[in-house]
Amino acid sequence: MKMNLYLAGCAVAAALYALPILAHAQTPAAGNDAKPTTTAPCNGPCMGGPGAPGGGRMGGHHGMKQDCSQSPNPDYCKSRQEAWKKAAEACKDTRGPDRRQCMQNNMPAPDCSKSPNPERCNAMTQAREACKDKAGPDRRQCVQSKLPPPDCSKSPNPERCTAAQKAREACKDKAIGPDRRQCMRDQFSRK
């Protein structure tokens, strides 16, 4: 008797587990309402694996397939998507860090007139242009060294901004990476 209840319980559990999978496999295909598809459950892109938009390692286009009608600023969204497509076309023969640098170099500069802090935006654009030939941590360090210090009087938390600025100044000789992060942590813990 106990064995029969155990088997019945296992059968119910297996059926409940398989039900969503079967329902997914029997849904109509997009654009074809007449006949449901009978494909096997998806373990790849539809499950967020490699190749899925924004999913998995190196997978997807990180939001470039976004529906711009859902965006708070559809015009800006469309212009960024078009710029991304042009940059992707220009960089289609590159891979890895070279592609990343190529994409950064081929994306248009932001419209600083619409920025909440136009001075900082212009300085960032000039720093990016000056450091265009560098990649990775060297590029980040170059951009940071070219930027003027932030105006802490306009910050929502001026004390924290000032402390961060002092920490950056104390750690400016460290390369970006674990040593610099440790230096910054040490500076903040000395309060």
Express each pLDDT in 73-95 by its tens digit.
888 888 889 999 999 999 999 98
Domain of residue 134 covers 114-148
The answer to the question of residue 84 being in a domain is yes
* Domain total in the chain: 2
Euclidean distance between CA atoms 131 and 100, whole angstroms = 14
Q: Residues 133, 122, 100, CA angle at the centre, nearest 5°?
A: 35
Beta bridge partners of 19: none
The answer to the question of residue 179 being in a domain is no
On whether both 101 and 118 belong to a single domain, the answer is no
Give the pLDDT of residue 33: 46
Both structure tokens of 71: 């965006």
The answer to the question of residue 140 being in a domain is yes
- β-pairing verdict for 32-36 and 28-29: antiparallel
Express each pLDDT in 115-138 by its tens digit.
888 888 899 999 988 988 887 788
The answer to the question of residue 101 being in a domain is yes
The answer to the question of residue 58 being in a domain is no
